[in-house]
A and B are shown apart, each in its own frame.
Chain A
Amino acid sequence: MSAVNTQDGTQWNRQDFPAAAKEILEQSQTRKNVQHATNVIQGKRNKVVAELLDWEDLREAGAQVKAHTLRHLDHYLMEFEANCTKAGGHVHWASDAAEANRIILGLVQKHNAKEVIKIKTMTSEEVGLNATLEANGIAPIETDLAELIVQMGKDRPSHFVAPALHVNRAQVRAIFQKEMNLPELGDRPEDLATAARTYLREKYLRIKVAISGGNFLIADSGGMCIVESEGNGRMCLTLPDVLISIVGIEKVIPSFQDLEIFLQTLPRSATGERMNPYNSTWCGVHPGDGPQEFHVVLLDNGRSPILADKEARQTLQCIRCAACLNACPVYHQTGGHAYESVYAGPIGAILTPQLHSMKEGRSLPYASSLCGACYQVCPVKINIPEVLIHLRGKVVREDQATLAGKFSLWNIGMQAALFLFKDASRFAFAERVGAVGQKVLVSKNGFIEWMPLMLSGWTQTRDLKAMPAQSFRQWWAKEKAPSAAAKNGKVSHG
């Protein structure tokens, strides 16, 4: 799959993580915005999670429901399709982004719509739907406040719960002043909210086609569930004549009862709220009540192959709460754009390369110090560090199959290290060689302040303690081994 167009016409996957991160690390305002926002959300999340005595049980239950559903995904998707159809909905199957775009464009064109209103949906972003609609003369209007800011700012989302988390209030004001033609706009939160409300209200009342994502597909009733905080979703789900929902196939859960788990864990993890302000569940169509035409586009787009990977399939358990982004010390520094992907942060680092069959986002599995903060907060217990390592393994294996990879400095270094670690006498010899050989690098103060090639990454900000003249094993052999041998009355291992 090739790079996907974003709202501003630029593309994701332009450069690898280290290069993209370096650009953002130089943007001090963006970094401040990201750190402030993630700290606030993380603080709220920790507080409301601590209130639940059965939090760990809820995590376990959520993980098990999701894992079970994924193991029987074909069954639950067919059940959903049957029940949704029975309730008056139309179910479409899209194997990739192009097919999803074709289906949705066709539906919009059938209704001669020139504009559509949208609820924040990352699957739409994933398939590049807005660019497709615009190319066909249809204006997609984002109604989620943050998505509206991103759209008007010709920007890209940096967080899949709070897409405009990287901009601050002053920047939002400037965008609204320009795009809504409101030169006198104030900068209080209520000023900005009022401007957005006024702008959007007219759209809700006029536009007849809405596009959404979906948090949960409910198999046993054919129903759907969307949770949100602003009420824009409720407007889009109730006012238009036509509703089109594009949802990843992994979003299905067996029954309505299962929401009991996720409607506790999702809002607490996502926004630090005990409950979302708006929880919409609906089932098919009902005369005189809400949209009279309802379509669900079930999107595969690279998900099925992930299911086949025993180690990595837990990736699809994700309920998109973004708690792992807020907890991640790497994300804190870089925000979402460094990932060059619709899905940022730790979950993005494992999801993106897999959705692209490891053809893109190959630097992302390395965009983590494996600190484990993501796994600790994940409400469906995705062991992200474990999957990151698994994917690093794939990257290494694929690289080793190429000539360039085989003779890369990394591979040579790792093979050399393996040679030493297989035999202690080789390792001990290398230590002695290192202790002498390092002398060309050691400064007068006894520290290494410069190293060549890839090791220069270390010394750009850090000194390295030089190896002492005597290793521990040398000390032991000299000082301890003789007495230990004497005491035991036998030759020690030394």
Chain B
Amino acid sequence: MRVSLFITCYNDALFPDTGKAVVNVLERLGHEIEFRPEQTCCGQMHWNTGYLREAVPIIRHFVKVYQDVETVVIPSSSCVSMMRDHYVKAAEMDGDARLVADIQALLPRVFEFSEFLVRKLGVEDVGASYPHKVTYHSSCHSERSLHLGDVPIRLLKRVRGLELQPIQNIQECCGFGGTFSIKNADVSSAMLADKVRNVLNTGAEVCTAVDNSCLMHIYGSLHRQRTFVRTAHIAEILASGHDAEVTPEAFV
């Protein structure tokens, strides 16, 4: 299958290893990956902060870049949920019927990375090996918007050597919420404190998720507290243990 990777703006700038890992896993499974450098952002930050009109050109840009692809894979559930939950509404708000139609035609071909592996490709064992204690944080959008359920867990359970550590309140928000973490920094920090306590209580060496946004937030506190627990996007775990041409730092 020809897979077009939408890396997302923040992964592009901050977490390139996640993108490399996605490429690694999908190529190993025999798929052809393309990357369209015209891509930028899904528009979520503007939309969720209330800059609704401003989100529309970004949405239009995304649709223009991807409307002819076979399939788009995105290593970020919150960006996928932005598309599924809000794109049509935004285009309707703008009164652009053509854009509504284009979005409706494109959306069935858009997948979150773990969802693509399990639900589209029917793959659970990608042949990875990661001999570490890992705990999984179920991000809000993966849980309550994309309804991924145990999809990521099924992938993690097939990773050789990986010991999955259950975490308390797995579905509770880490407190990131995009600009919420800045506009309501104190409440966000209090929510994060609860999440990090639960992460530390698992005894895991690594906390994973399908969203680097949550992981960036969680690791922000883990690092500030000088703990030795690290975070790694699920793609990086699934890419590990191979003769990959890239060795993302979180693989160690």
What residues of chain A have their CB less than 8 Å away from a CB belonging to chain B?
17-18, 21-22, 25, 329-330, 332-334, 338, 365-373, 375-376, 386, 389, 391-397, 410, 414-415, 417-418, 420-424, 427-428, 431, 434, 447, 449, 454-455, 457-458, 460-465, 467-468, 470-477, 479-481, 484, 492-494
Report how far A464 CA is from B10 CA in the complex, Å: 13
Decide if A462 touches B37 in the complex (CB within 8 Å). no
Asked if residues B186 and A493 are in contact (CB atoms below 8 Å), the reply is no
- From A373, A376, A472, give the contact of B12 (CB < 8 A): A472
Q: Does B70 contact A (CB under 8 A)?
A: no
* Residue contact A420 to B52, C-beta cutoff 8 Å: no
Nearest-neighbor residue (CB-CB) of B190 within chain A: A333
A330, B191: Cβ atoms closer than 8 Å: yes
Please indicate the chain B residues that have their CB under 8 angstroms from the CB of A371 in the complex: 140, 144, 172-173, 177
| Interface residue? B183 (CB, 8 A) | yes
Q: Is B123 in the interface zone, CB < 8 Å from A?
A: no
Q: Please indicate the chain A residues that have their CB under 8 angstroms from the CB of B43 in the complex.
A: 421
Which one of B99-107, B126-134, B156-164, B218-226 is at the A interface? B218-226
Chain B positions 57 through 68: 1 when the CB is less than 8 Å from some CB of chain A, otherwise 0: 110010000000
Interface size on B, residues (CB 8 A): 71
User: Are B49 and A392 neighbours in the complex by a CB distance under 8 Å?
Assistant: yes
Contact status of A458 and B185, CB under 8 A, knowing A333-B190, A494-B35: yes
Residues of A within 8 A of B48 (CB): 370, 389, 392
What is the distance, in angstroms, from A431's C-beta to the closest C-beta of chain B?
Answer: 5
A369 adjacent to B16 (CB under 8 Å): no
Chain B positions within 8 Å of A369 at CB level: 140, 173, 175-178, 180-181, 188, 191
- Chain B residues packing against A (C-beta within 8 Å): 7, 9, 11-16, 19-20, 23, 33-41, 43, 45-54, 57-58, 61, 85-86, 140-141, 143-145, 171-173, 175-178, 180-194, 216-217, 219-221, 223-224, 245
* Closest Cβ neighbor of B19 among chain A residues: A472
Instruction: Note all chain A residues with C-beta closer than 8 A to B57.
Output: 418, 421-422
Q: Residue among B49, B182, B186, B220 with the most chain A CB within 10 A? A: B186
A462–B140 contact, CB under 8 A?
Answer: no
CB-based nearest B residue for A376: B144
A381 to chain B, nearest CB (A): 13
The CA-CA distance from A21 to B184 in the complex, in Å, is 9
Contact B183 A414 (CB under 8 A): no
List, in ascending order, chain A residues with CB within 8 A of B35's CB: 473, 476, 480-481, 493-494
Complex Cα distance, B145 from A397, in Å, reads 27
> Shortest CB–CB separation between residue B193 and chain A, in angstroms?
8
Contact A458 B173 (CB under 8 A): no
Residues of A within 8 A of B216 (CB): 464-465
Per the bound structure, the CA–CA distance linking A420 and B45 in Å amounts to 13
**B187 and A333 contacting across the interface, CB-CB below 8 Å:** yes
List the 7 closest A-B pairs by CB distance, nearest first: A369-B177, A392-B50, A457-B185, A462-B220, A371-B173, A372-B144, A472-B16
- Supplied contacts A25-B187, A338-B187, A468-B16, 16 more A-B pairs, CB within 8 Å: A21-B187, A330-B187, A369-B191, A371-B140, A373-B172, A389-B50, A394-B50, A414-B51, A418-B57, A424-B40, A427-B41, A461-B185, A464-B220, A470-B16, A471-B13, A473-B35
Chain B residues lying within 8 Å of A22, measured Cβ to Cβ, are 186
A-B contact pairs, 8 of them (CB 8 A): A21-B184, A329-B173, A332-B191, A370-B180, A389-B86, A392-B48, A447-B223, A458-B181
Q: A329-B173, A418-B46 are in contact. Are A372 and B145 (CB under 8 A)?
A: yes
Q: Which residue of B lies closest to A449 (CB)?
A: B224
For residue A375, which residue of chain B has the nearest CB?
A: B144
A451 vs B45: C-alpha distance when bound (angstroms): 19
* Cβ–Cβ < 8 Å partners of A386 in chain B: 85
B16 contacts A458, C-beta separation under 8 Å: no
A5 to B162, CA, bound (A): 58
A382 to B217, CA, bound (A): 28
| Contact in complex: B38, A424 (CB < 8 Å) | yes
By the criterion CB–CB under 8 Å, are A455 and B182 in contact? yes
A-side interface mostly: helix
Most B CB contacts (10 A, CB to CB) among A462, A464, A484 go to A462
On chain A, the residues within 8 Å of B36 by CB distance are 493
Closest Cβ neighbor of B188 among chain A residues: A369
CB-defined contacts of B33 to chain A, threshold 8 Å: 480
Chain B residues with CB under 8 Å of A479's CB are 245
Asked whether A422 lies within 8 Å of B58 as measured between CB atoms, the reply is: yes
A376 CA to B138 CA, complexed, in Å:
15
List residues of chain A with CB within 8 A of the CB of B45. Answer: 414, 417
A427 in contact with B40 (CB, 8 Å): yes
Residues on B with C-beta less than 8 A from A366 are 180, 183-184
Q: Bound complex: CA of A287 vs CA of B8, how far in Å?
A: 71
User: Are B13 and A431 interface neighbours, CB within 8 A?
Assistant: yes
Q: Is the CB of B54 within 8 A of A471?
A: no
Distance to closest chain A CB from B142 (angstroms)? 11
Task: Give CA–CA (A210, B52) in the complex, Å.
Answer: 47
Q: Which of A376, A423, A455 contacts B40 (CB 8 A)?
A: A423
Contacts of A480 in B (CB 8 A): 23, 33, 35
With both beta carbons as reference points, the residue of chain A lying nearest to B47 in the complex is identified as A389
Expressed in whole angstroms, the Cα–Cα distance for A174 and B20 within the complex equals: 62
A462: which of B50, B54, B224 is its contact (CB, 8 Å)? B224
List, in ascending order, chain A residues with CB within 8 A of B217's CB: 462
Would you call B46 and A372 a contact (CB within 8 A)?
no
Among the listed A428, A463, A473, which residue makes an inter-chain contact with B224, where contact means beta carbons less than 8 Å apart?
A463
**Residues A471 and B16 in contact in the complex (CB < 8 Å), given A368-B180, A462-B192, A477-B37:** yes
A415-B192 CB under 8 A given contacts A372-B140, A460-B185, A461-B224: no
Cβ B180 vs Cβ A476 within 8 A: no
A427 with B186: CB separation less than 8 A: no
